[in-house]
Amino acid sequence: MPLRTDTFDLGGLRLSSGEGRRLDLHVAIEPFELGGEPYAVEPRVVPAQLDVSRTTGAGYALRLGFEATLNGPCMRCLSPAEPVFQVTAREVSQPGEGDELESPYVRDGVLDLRAWARDALALTVPTQVLCRSDCAGLCPVCGEDLNLAGDDHAHEPEPDPRWAKLSELRFD
């Protein structure tokens, strides 16, 4: 298993202003819980690309890119879903130049790669995790998987109770 990076010391790169470096790292991302169901992130250790650019002073512009798969039940039909997500995230850390230029993931020149990668994936995952975008879901009447049931799956409409009452009337 490749060596994983939880935190990365940006200062250790010793970049001067305007200099940049691309790094190939590996990051572990904790499983997610969505709608009460666990979703594992695969692979266990995700290959990630980190672009670091030194700005002015103690500042950095960062770009993170990786691809990860979520593994858990489809929220419509409950069969296994393995959607793949392409994640791209950017951060600017320019200490001492206002809150909007402070990155929550950089402290004293050290990047919390693990926290950033997890948050970036969480922001990319849609509210509904599906086995495929046009998943037909389960039949609301009998619970059968409509992806397998075929287009002709249907139920007799429930008789309207008012008509049932009428049919009990006798016309002599």
Q: Is 131 in the site for Zn ion (CB under 5 A)?
A: yes
Cβ proximity to Zn ion, 40 vs 139, nearer residue: 139
CB of 72 to Zn ion, least distance (A): 11
Among 23, 101, 141, 148, binds Zn ion (CB under 5 A): 141
Return the residue of 8, 34, 76, 105 that touches Zn ion, per CB under 5 A: 76
Q: Does 77 bind Zn ion (CB under 5 A)?
A: yes
The DSSP string of the chain is -PPP-SSEESGGG-PPTT-EEEEEEEEE-PPEEETTEEEEEESSEEEEEEEEEE-STT-EEEEEEEEEEEEEE-TTT-SEE--EEEEEEEEEE-TTS-GGG--TTEETTEE-HHHHHHHHHHHHS-SS--SSTT---B-TTT--BHHHH-TT---PPPPPHHHHHHHH----
- 70 belongs to the binding site for Zn ion (CB under 5 A): no
How many chain residues interact with Zn ion (CB under 5 A)? 9
Interacting residues with Zn ion (CB under 5 A): 74, 76-77, 131, 135, 139, 141-142, 144
